Amino acid sequence: MNRISGYFKSLLLVELLRGMAVTVRYMFKPKYTMRFPMEHIPKSNRFRGLLALRRYENGEERCIACKLCESVCPALAITIDSAPRESDGQRRTTRYDIDLFKCIYCGFCEESCPVDSIVLTSIHEYYFDQRGQNVVNKQQLLAIGDRFEKQIAEDRTLDAPYR
Amino acid sequence: MADLFLHQLVLPVAYILAIVVPLIVAVAMFVYWERKVIGWMHVRLGPTKIGPWGTLQAFADVFKLLFKEVILPAKANRFLYYLGPLIAVVPALAVWAVVPFDSRMVVSNANAGVLYLLAVNSIGVYGIIIAGWASNSRYALLGAMRSAAQVISYELATGFCLICVLILAGSLNITEIVNAQAGSKGFFEWFWLPLLPVFVIFFIAGVAETNRLPFDMAEGESEIVAGFHVEYSGSPFALFFLAEYANMILISFLSAIFFLGGWLSPVQGWVHLDAPGWINWLWTGGFVWILIKAFLMSFLFLWFRATFPRYRYDQIMRLGWKIFIPIAIAWLFVSGCMRYFDWVSVGVGA
């Protein structure tokens, strides 16, 4: 009996038609595609993306060359040299390099920073087209911070109640 | 002299252009539509970038292919290598000479239209075999062999299906086959009803003959890379592509003609209204109906592709020889009885 019903089932294409019903149902479902450059997936304000160095509102750089980020970095991605600044003798970095290939975007540097200087922004769309561009220096990091300061400050304000 | 010039040169060329140009545009839009539909069934969007909603995507692909270099494999047979795609594409275009789009809209109203159709259509497989052999590549040869065996076995089933149609219609003329499906009961007069199993077999065998999924053993991307056209690039590849899609559209048209009443209206005989000509075709029939029917049948090709995994080779052979051909032969007997004892009305009150 079972064999006969199975025979007729396959002869009447029952299972094939059932499969086609599934695909045609999916045809009218809303699509998952995100048209990437035009559309973006919503991002958390805690998103850990490209690194940046921030400044105070008067334009003074925040970093005081305490090197806590360098020592906490689990991937040894940060390299810092420091010296007294020539104009006023304050302790400042002369070199602040981050190797973005080594960086694992853990955010420890941001956690450890006493002056909120090094931060992880929500930028995740960036690329290098030449060898060596993966190492970003102090000027570049400050420029990133300047450019996205508004976003960075907003993300920090949103997260503040939970810290 | 001028008369001879007109009848021997101008008119044939005009006929050829009138068939081939719309066909090529239809193939391009069909490729776009395929990618769109399969995208939707995969819950994706499909092409969206080129032209409005991506409609010009296929043309972009065609021009990309035409501008690409044609690479001849080092040990390939030069003559046969270039002959293969031509042999594949010429029958795919030539078959359209006997395909009627309306009661008087056909290039050649041949009396043995079905014979011409079967004969020319089966030349196409030589293109595949020659291409696979001339490429001098293992994958291409395997693909060509699979394709040859498959197309030949399924052609038998298709032939038996058409014989059933011929028995009912009593004619080899394709226009008369469609006229034989006319009647007062609308779409119940069409041959799909008395020949339902044959209709299903004909369409599935057509899918197999065009080497489309789930019967695409000749290409079988995951097994033999791209099968018979693995060594082809640029415009010869575009010709294979054109032939494959033109054949798909042809099978859709043939299913519409032989089983779904061609240009006849599905409500023929039910609606008797006196209306101006531009809306009259809705119930008296017209070429728009055959386009609609062929479009729906060709949608099935895409639907199959999005749904079914590829058959194993022995399964394809088993399906063709042990299931389709016996059923088709059995129905040959049934349709003979239908004709002999007048169980179906053929071409009454058209």
User: Could you read off the pLDDT of B188-235 as tens digits, one per residue?
Assistant: 888 888 888 999 999 999 998 888 878 887 776 777 777 788 888 888
Query: Residue A26 and residue B42: Cβ atoms within 8 Å?
Result: yes
pTM above 0.80, yes or no: yes
Is residue B29 located within the same domain as residue B121? no
Q: Is residue B350 part of a domain?
A: no
Is residue B52 located within the same domain as residue B195? no
Q: Alpha helices, DSSP H only, in chain B?
A: 2-5, 11-41, 57-67, 78-94, 113-121, 124-134, 138-169, 174-179, 196-209, 221-224, 234-259, 277-284, 287-307, 313-318, 325-340
Is residue B189 within 8 A of residue B181, CB to CB? The reply is yes
Is residue B15 located within the same domain as residue B102? no
What pLDDT, on the 0 to 100 scale, is given for residue B350? Answer: 40
Q: Is B277 exposed, middle or buried (0-12, 13-18, 19+ CB in 10 A)?
A: exposed
Is residue B23 located within the same domain as residue B135? no
Is residue B84 located within the same domain as residue B182? yes
Is residue B72 located within the same domain as residue B8? no
User: Could you read off the pLDDT of B289-331 as tens digits, one per residue?
Assistant: 899 999 999 999 999 999 988 888 888 888 889 889 999 999 9
Is residue B74 located within the same domain as residue B197? yes
Which residues, 6+ apart, have CB-to-CB distance to B45 below 8 Å? A31, A33, A35, B39
Is residue B58 located within the same domain as residue B87? no
What pLDDT, on the 0 to 100 scale, is given for residue A32? Answer: 87
CA distance A6 to B283: 42
CA distance B184 to B324: 32
Predicted confidence (pLDDT) at residue B348 exceeds the cutoff of 70: no
Q: Is B258 exposed, middle or buried (0-12, 13-18, 19+ CB in 10 A)?
A: buried
Q: Is residue B348 part of a domain?
A: no
In angstroms, the separation between the Cα of residue A76 and the nearest Cα of chain B is 41
Question: Which of B42, B67, B92 is the last residue before a domain boundary?
Answer: B67
Predicted confidence (pLDDT) at residue B344 exceeds the cutoff of 80: no
Q: Is residue B345 part of a domain?
A: no
CA distance B4 to B10: 9
Q: Is residue B346 part of a domain?
A: no
What mean pLDDT comes out for the span B24-39? 91
Is residue B111 located within the same domain as residue B171? yes
Mean pLDDT of all residues in chain B? 86
Is residue B36 located within the same domain as residue B79? no
Q: Is residue B123 part of a domain?
A: yes
For A18, nearest residue in chain B (alpha carbons):
B307
Nearest CB to B41 within list A16, A26, A35? A26
In angstroms, the separation between the Cα of residue B63 and the nearest Cα of chain A is 25
What pLDDT, on the 0 to 100 scale, is given for residue B349? Answer: 42
Q: Is residue B85 part of a domain?
A: yes
Residue B6 domain boundaries:
1-67
User: Could you read off the pLDDT of B144-197 as tens digits, one per residue?
Assistant: 888 888 888 888 899 899 999 998 888 888 888 888 888 777 788 888 888 889
Mean pLDDT of all residues in chain A? 90
Predicted confidence (pLDDT) at residue B240 exceeds the cutoff of 50: yes
Question: Which of B44, B67, B90 is the last residue before a domain boundary?
Answer: B67
Predicted confidence (pLDDT) at residue B51 exceeds the cutoff of 90: no
ipTM: 0.75
Write the secondary structure of B104-144 as one string of H (helix), E (strand) and C (coil). CCCCCCCCCHHHHHHHHHCCHHHHHHHHHHHCCCHHHHHHH
Is residue B150 within 8 A of residue B215, CB to CB? The reply is yes
What pLDDT, on the 0 to 100 scale, is given for residue B347? Answer: 60
- In this complex, is the C-beta atom of B296 within 8 Å of any C-beta atom belonging to chain A? no
Best-predicted range by mean pLDDT (A51-65, B146-160, B274-288): A51-65
φ/ψ of B270, rounded to 5, equals: -95, -35
In angstroms, the separation between the Cα of residue B34 and the nearest Cα of chain A is 12
Question: Which of B32, B67, B102 is the last residue before a domain boundary?
Answer: B67
